[in-house]
Amino acid sequence: MNEPTHDHAPHTHDHEHDGPHEDHAHDHGDHSHSPGDEEHDHDHGADGHGHGAHGHSHGLVDASIVRSRAGVKAVALSLGVLLIASLLQLVVFVLSNSVALLADLIHNFGDASTAIPLGIAFFLRSFRAERIAGLFVVATIFVSACVALYESIQRFINPEELTHLWALAAAGAIGFVGNEIAAFIRYRAGKRLSSPALIADGNHARVDGYVSLGVIASAFFVAIGLDRADPVVGLLITLVILKITWDSWRTIRASEPGEPLPAIE
Could you report the per-residue pLDDT of 58-90, keeping only the tens digit for each? 445 567 888 889 999 999 999 899 889 888 888
Query: Same structural domain for residues 31 and 87?
Result: no
Top-confidence range, 8-12, 30-34, 133-137? 133-137
Please check whether residue 265 lies inside any domain of the structure. Answer: no
Compute φ and ψ for 102, nearest 5 degrees: -60, -45
Query: Same structural domain for residues 47 and 149?
Result: no
For the segment 96-102, the average pLDDT, to the nearest whole number, is 69
Distances (CA, A) of 23 to 12, 18, 19, 26: 17, 8, 6, 5
CA-nearest of 230, 100, 79, 227 to 170 is 100
Query: Same structural domain for residues 158 and 34?
Result: no
Query: Same structural domain for residues 43 and 72?
Result: no
Query: Same structural domain for residues 101 and 42?
Result: no
Last residue of a domain, one of 39, 59, 79: 59
Please check whether residue 132 lies inside any domain of the structure. Answer: yes
Tell me what percent of the chain is helix, strand and coil, each rounded to the nearest 5: 85, 0, 15
Query: Same structural domain for residues 101 and 33?
Result: no
Predicted pLDDT at 157 = 87
Please check whether residue 264 lies inside any domain of the structure. Answer: no
Query: Same structural domain for residues 239 and 205?
Result: yes
Predicted pLDDT at 181 = 94
Query: Same structural domain for residues 197 and 238?
Result: yes
Least confident of 36-40, 133-137, 174-178: 36-40
Please check whether residue 262 lies inside any domain of the structure. Answer: no
Query: Same structural domain for residues 200 and 236?
Result: yes
What distance in Å separates the CA atoms of residue 246 and residue 58, rounded to the nearest whole number?
Answer: 41
Q: How many CA atoms within 13 Å lie on the side-chain side of 151?
A: 19
Number of domains composing the chain:
2
Domain that residue 152 falls in: 66-254
Question: pTM of whole model > 0.85?
Answer: no
